[in-house]
């Protein structure tokens, strides 16, 4: 595996960062997870846009242009001879001192890793997964804004630990007002009477690239999509439920907090969206090999 670090490529064994990098010391940085399918990097511009928005929000100067980051992402896939890949793109604050002050970090660092990922067991995509609501509350907008895809993922990790302790793969996080926000690494949708609903960004949901892609596909298919505040009651009484994310793609949910969703099987609309999503990913994106 060849890993991009600040303009150079290193083997997996030799790819290292300083112990004084504030990304390691304080989780000070931003990241993106990106997918490549069939020799094309999917929604690359949208992901790099979001990376730069996150960086701007924390006053982190990315030491490469938008176009240069896009080129490096595609090149990293080519260097690793990948046609289908999961790409982790990180920007850290860079090397500094043991103090918090980000001004002591002279230059940010860009890291690109292109490999493979299997977020959930394959059988769950066929039969659906069970999830639970957990006590850990989603970050407040007034604290660490959930719109920032930062390297500090402790909020999500704590919720993931609670999911694991409950014997499931994923968890629903509520916001401070008790409304559904998102899952630990995915956005969440429900289907009710043929209409799709997903929590609004104001509820603490991340602006998911896959989330928006699914909204667009649903509208194209003639389904109404709304973004109301949702409660656990709404989730329990949904006809269908599914999660979306770059790593997860689209995965059906068939049980929430012990309540069976719909008939306990992946729903018709969910399965159609999965098919349409896979068709889209296989035909669009930034070419890796010219």
Active site residues: 149
Phi, psi of 68 (to 5 degrees): -65, -40
Spatial distance between the Cα atoms of 146 and 154, rounded to a whole number of angstroms: 12
Give Cα separations from 238 to 8, 99, 189, 242 (angstroms): 49, 49, 10, 10
Angle CA 32–64–30, to nearest 5:
30
Which string of b and e fits 32-68 if b means at least 16 CB within 10 Å? bbbbbbebbbbbbeebbebbbebbeebebebeeeeee
Spatial distance between the Cα atoms of 37 and 280, rounded to a whole number of angstroms: 10
Residue 29 near residue 23, CB atoms below 8 Å: yes
Spatial distance between the Cα atoms of 131 and 121, rounded to a whole number of angstroms: 14
Spatial distance between the Cα atoms of 232 and 171, rounded to a whole number of angstroms: 12
């Amino acid at each position: 595996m060849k890993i991009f670090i600040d303009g150079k490529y290193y083997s997996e064994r030799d790819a290292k960062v300083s112990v004084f990098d504030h990304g390691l010391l304080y989780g000070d940085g931003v990241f993106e997870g990106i997918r490549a399918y069939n020799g094309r990097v999917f929604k690359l511009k949208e992901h790099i846009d979001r990376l730069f928005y996150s960086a701007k929000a924390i006053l982190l100067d990315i030491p490469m242009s938008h176009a240069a980051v896009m080129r490096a992402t595609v090149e990293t896939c080519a260097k690793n001879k990948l046609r289908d890949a999961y790409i982790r793109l990180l920007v850290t604050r860079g090397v500094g001192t043991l103090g918090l002050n980000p001004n002591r970090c002279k230059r940010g660092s860009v890291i690109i890793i292109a490999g493979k990922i299997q977020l959930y067991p394959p059988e769950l995509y066929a039969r659906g997964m069970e999830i639970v609501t957990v006590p850990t509350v989603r970050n407040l907008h007034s604290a660490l804004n959930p719109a920032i895809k930062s390297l500090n993922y402790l909020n999500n990790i704590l919720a993931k630990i609670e999911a694991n302790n409950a014997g499931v793969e994923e968890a629903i996080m509520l916001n401070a007002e008790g409304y559904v926000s998102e899952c630990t690494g995915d956005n969440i949708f429900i289907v009710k009477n043929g209409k799709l609903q997903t929590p609004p960004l104001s509820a603490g949901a991340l602006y998911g690239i896959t989330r928006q892609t699914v909204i667009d596909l649903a509208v194209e298919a003639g389904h109404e999509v709304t973004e109301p505040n949702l409660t656990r009651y709404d989730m329990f009484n949904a006809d269908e439920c599914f999660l979306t994310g770059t790593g997860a793609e689209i995965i059906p949910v068939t049980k929430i907090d012990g309540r069976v969703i719909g008939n306990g099987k992946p729903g018709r609309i969910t399965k159609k969206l999965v098919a349409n999503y896979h068709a889209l990913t296989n035909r669009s994106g930034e070419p890796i090999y010219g």
